[in-house]
Structure 1
């Protein structure tokens, strides 16, 4: 492989690799070599100094140089903000939050008495009203078996943090 520095007729300089010098000539003649900046097909090789290996040096490995100071590290860059959630998930979470806020603002919180209050309302032993609270999975299953319609209130992601 050989690397050529090329220049287009607009003066843009760029490098390209070719299997051989004749491969460059053939591709250039067929119009396959173009400037990546302006897409001009008028490209020529720029003058280059060839990289030639020296043969007049001793072939023994050089002694390890004395420890050199470490190069200065680049200044830290501020991390780019990345969206943690995709747009559909953000919309879904916003919907869950809106549902939760609506239920909380328009219903009575009955705490861990939810199952007994739901039964009392269902059987007419208490005034009908919207309620919310906590129930164990066993209590929720019993309510469903009795035909009492209940549903879990979606938790806000902030409730867990």
Structure 2
């Protein structure tokens, strides 16, 4: 089994497991290798070194990243600058949202209105709405929140 460090064109870093280099190249050519955060198929291998167990030495302490200071600034944090642990946490959260909501697709605005007016039973929904529809819902007092969900959150990873 080959474990490869991969990166999409948006800078998201992730790991892929393949039977061989040929297996990786074949899957990449067929568009089967996708970023789990943004579904980008433009994937590159990153340089990686195999872990060699050369003795029973204590592992060196990893330097502590100061990623919190980025979040505290006025500049928005790009997903590609987030540490892999935060990217993984975001993907886990997105999967929970998908697992606990019903996808109503483009009917989102209509379903939200019907629930708000008591025409149908309230339930957790997600779907697509235009920016104009979202603003109209907010003007009507219906709470909505844009939440871009990566394609990988909607399916089981193999």
Q: TM-score range by the shorter chain?
A: 0.3 to 0.5
Q: Name the TM-score, length of structure 2 as normaliser.
A: 0.43
Higher relative contact order (CA 8 A, sep 6+): 2
Larger Rg: 1
Q: TM-score if structure 1 supplies the norm length?
A: 0.42
